[in-house]
Amino acid sequence: MSKQLQEAARRLAASKNILVLTGAGISADSGIPTFRGKDGLWNNRRGEELASIDLLLEDPKLAWQWYDAMRVLIAKNKPNPGHLALAALEKMRPDLALTTQNIDGYHSDAGSRRVFELHGNFWRLRCMACGKMDENRQAPIKELPPKCACGGLLRPDIVLYGEQLPVEALEGAFARARESDFCLVVGTSCVVYPAALLPQAAKRNGAFLLEVNPENTQLSEYADMTINGTAAAVLPKLVHALQS
């Protein structure tokens, strides 16, 4: 076991309030694209265009073809050892709060219970007319675009480009960041705001900041420790070190 992992586990064991922030990188080992660079293309369209509120309003069928393709991909795959390790860590440390920028629902599927979903969840569908919301795991959906019983257009309960983040989840995450003494950032380059400000808020509170990422990011400059590796490879070892 590396000295880095031993020291990270020691710091984690001594902490009282843990904040975890995850990004697209944690789901990469589950086969989910990160949507940056070439991974962001679908039928020669960029992820930023496909996941925009403008496209949903202008061409709901095209938007839903992409949503449905993503839901099928997520359903075909499953949480990886990184997700499972965080769920196991939550059972060990009930003071842990998990904040994610991901919309695949894998953290909940892995067993995590205290999850702030900053960008929503693909499996929840919300009616744009009456506002009714239900979980729907059908993948593929039989008729696109899907309609509510009231006749209104259904949409995934996710934050699209051009929309604001859910206030309740955002405020909850920042409140936790301001009282945390250990912040674990996994699989995110911290370039998407305001989520990128969460580690800074924790750091200002004096939290030990641990980054887990295959490559260094802009966060690495002020992280107390950066462990280069995938979440699926590193996090199970961190949990094992904590148990040792």
Catalytic residues, which ones? 119
* 230 CA to centre of own chain: 15
What CA–CA distance (Å, rounded) separates 78 from 109?
8
What CA–CA distance (Å, rounded) separates 210 from 227?
8
The type of residue at 83 is H
Q: Is the CB of residue 154 less than 8 Å from the CB of residue 61?
A: no
Residue 120, phi-psi category: left (phi > 0), alpha (psi -120 to 50), beta (remainder): left
What CA–CA distance (Å, rounded) separates 220 from 27?
20
How far, CA to CA in Å, does 242 sit from each of 12, 213, 235?
8, 19, 11
Give the tokens for residue 128. 């744009």
- Among 118, 114, 97, smallest CA distance to 180 is for 97
How far, CA to CA in Å, does 18 sit from each of 51, 86, 89, 151?
31, 11, 10, 44
Contacts of 67 (CB under 8 A, 6+ apart): 122, 156
